[in-house]
């Protein structure tokens, strides 16, 4: 719930939205270049590692697949939410696996 609340504040409070929108303009520009068959680091320069490039392209394709409703920034917010919830699920699974042997040791100190 805290993650969803934090995402909503950052996404919809005007002060934060303006701050995020400044960077999103670059992401949209680079994402559109890549979807128009331009090759990063050859056809245009950017200061991000290659692993960051799918994050710029995903909102462009999500917007195209949905029939172009909303703006790039709206789909970027959806992408941020999905990635944040995925990270929380991965953390929860990792903690569950780590807590198993510890809980057993607490219940049965003779082990």
Per-residue model confidence as pLDDT tens digits over 31-68: 999 999 999 999 999 889 999 999 999 999 988 888 88
Helix, coil or strand: residue 44 = strand
pLDDT for 101 equals 60
What pTM, to 2 d.p., does this model score? 0.71
Any idea which residue has 């999500």 for tokens?
62
Helix (H) or strand (E) holding 67: none
Average pLDDT, the chain: 82
CB atoms within 10 A of CB 78: 17
């Amino acid at each position: 719930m805290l993650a969803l609340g934090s995402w909503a504040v950052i996404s919809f409070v005007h002060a934060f939205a303006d701050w995020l929108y400044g960077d999103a303009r670059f992401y949209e520009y680079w994402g559109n270049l890549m979807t128009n068959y331009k090759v990063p680091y050859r056809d245009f320069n950017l200061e991000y590692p290659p692993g960051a490039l799918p994050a710029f392209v995903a909102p462009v394709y999500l917007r195209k697949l949905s029939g172009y409703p909303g703006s790039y920034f709206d789909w970027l917010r959806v992408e941020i939410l999905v990635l944040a919830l995925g990270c929380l699920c991965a953390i929860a699974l990792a903690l569950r696996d780590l807590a198993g042997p510890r809980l057993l040791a607490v219940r049965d100190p003779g082990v």
